Amino acid sequence: MSRIAKRFAQLKADKRAGLVTYVTAGDPDADVSYQILKGLPGAGADLIELGMPFTDPMADGPSIQLAGQRALKAGMTVDKTFDMVKRFRKDTGDNDTPILLMGYYNLVYQRGPEKFCKDAAAAGVDGFILVDLPPEEADELKPFAAAAGLDTVLLTAPTTDDKRLPAVLKYSSGFVYFVSVLGITGTSSATEEAVQNHVARLRRHTKLPIGVGFGIRTPDQAAAVARHADAAVVGTAIIDRVKAGLDDKGKAKPDLVPGVFAYIKALAAGVRGVRKD
């Protein structure tokens, strides 16, 4: 059983939904980014998405675009992202919290999908969410990911109709990520009713756990998602806390890391307040 499957099984046994937190690797710099990563499980993250900064993040709003630019400017690379994960597993002894790499396919393609998967697995990564690799092109990654024991979490969207869903699900493992709004990250939010309807529709097609993301900013919104889905994914709102902790020169102020953790604790409280029987 993969770490991701185990974590969702545990959440189910605990009768609650999970909180998935997204941070961009290397934002605002490697050190501060690692401090954040290390503390995420303690602050209440059940699963971690680690964004690989990319020059052209076509599906991201301004917050995550700028986070990627800060990270690249500070010298972040794919190797250093792997190193962060390695160090996390070693330093914290946390062998249970799943870490997924999120980003765009070109970084995987340039390293070579097979090598990328092997290196990621060796570093302690559990899976991928690649925004621009739909099922139509997923063949070039899936066999290597499977061989390395990595899950591939594909995205589903409001535009993914019942006819198309089976094709997306065929390539999905670990969980299914539902993008709850039409749009880029960090813009609008879905209503609870829309989330409920879409999750119900997805459940008719799959037994995989369902994570819902895009537009979740408050503990109440996270709780609303938790009432229906198996996990709530929060990204932009966390990145905004990182940005708020930077001084005029782009350096981390002392309250940056605690500020991020306090915010994640509040989100986790929202999610954990929903009992699922």
Partner 1 sequence: MTTSPNSFRTGPDERGHFGIFGGRYVAETLMPLILELEKAYNAAKADPAFQSELDYLLEHYAGRPSPLYFAKRLTEKLGGAKIYLKRDELNHTGSHKINNVLGQVLMAKRMGKTRVIAETGAGQHGVATATACALFDIPCVVFMGSVDVERQSPNVFRMKMLGAEVRPVTAGSSTLKDAMNEALRDWVATCENTFYCIGTVAGPHPYPAMVRDFQCVIGNETRQQMMKAEGRLPDTLVACIGGGSNAMGLFHPFLDDPGVRIVGVEAAGHGIESGEHAASLTGGRPGVLHGNRTYLLQDKEGQITEAHSISAGLDYPGIGPEHSWLKENGRVEYVSATDTEALDAFGVLCKLEGIIPALESSHALAHVIKLAPTLPMDNLLVMNLSGRGDKDVPQVAARMGMKIES
Site string for partner 1, 208-247 (x = CB under 8 A): ----------------------------------------
Q: Of 19 and 168, which has the nearer Cβ to partner 1? A: 168
- Given candidates 61, 174, 211, 245, which one binds partner 1 under the rule CB under 8 A? 61
Q: Does 148 participate in binding partner 1 (rule CB under 8 A)?
A: no
Cα separation, 242 vs 66, in Å, equals 11
Cis peptide before 28 (omega within 30 of 0): yes
Smallest gap from residue 154 Cβ to partner 1 (A): 7
Q: Does 72 participate in binding partner 1 (rule CB under 8 A)?
A: yes
Q: Does 107 participate in binding partner 1 (rule CB under 8 A)?
A: yes
Active-site pick, 27, 49, 230, 240: 49
Smallest gap from residue 98 Cβ to partner 1 (A): 21
How far from each other are the two terminal CA atoms of the chain, in whole angstroms?
A: 24
Q: Decide: 232 and 222 in contact? Cβ < 8 Å.
A: yes
Smallest gap from residue 84 Cβ to partner 1 (A): 15
Q: Is 14 one of the catalytic residues?
A: no
Q: Does 131 participate in binding partner 1 (rule CB under 8 A)?
A: yes
- Given candidates 14, 42, 75, 106, which one binds partner 1 under the rule CB under 8 A? 106
Q: Does 156 participate in binding partner 1 (rule CB under 8 A)?
A: yes
Q: Does 96 participate in binding partner 1 (rule CB under 8 A)?
A: no
Q: Does 59 participate in binding partner 1 (rule CB under 8 A)?
A: yes
CA dist 241 to 34, 61, 148, 227, Å? 16, 15, 34, 25
Smallest gap from residue 171 Cβ to partner 1 (A): 11
Q: Does 159 participate in binding partner 1 (rule CB under 8 A)?
A: yes
HEC string for the chain: CCHHHHHHHHHHHCCCCEEEEEEECCCCCHHHHHHHHHHHHHHCCCEEEEECCCCCCCCCCHHHHHHHHHHHHCCCCHHHHHHHHHHHHHHHCCCCCCEEEEECHHHHHHHCHHHHHHHHHHHCCCEEEECCCCCCCHHHCHHHHHHCCCEECCEECCCCCCCCHHHHHHCCCCCEEEECCCCCCCCCCCCHHHHHHHHHHHHCCCCCCEEEECCCCCHHHHHHHHCCCCEEEECHHHHHHHHHCECCCCCECCCHHHHHHHHHHHHHHHHHCCCCC
With contacts defined by CB under 8 A, how many residues of the chain interact with partner 1? 42
Q: Is 151 one of the catalytic residues?
A: no
Active-site pick, 60, 151, 230, 240: 60
Site string for partner 1, 163-202 (x = CB under 8 A): -x---x----------x--xxx--xx--------------
Which sequence positions are flagged as catalytic?
Answer: 49, 60
Footprint of partner 1 (CB under 8 A):
54-62, 65, 72, 77-78, 104-107, 109-111, 131-134, 136-137, 154-161, 164, 168, 179, 182-184, 187-188
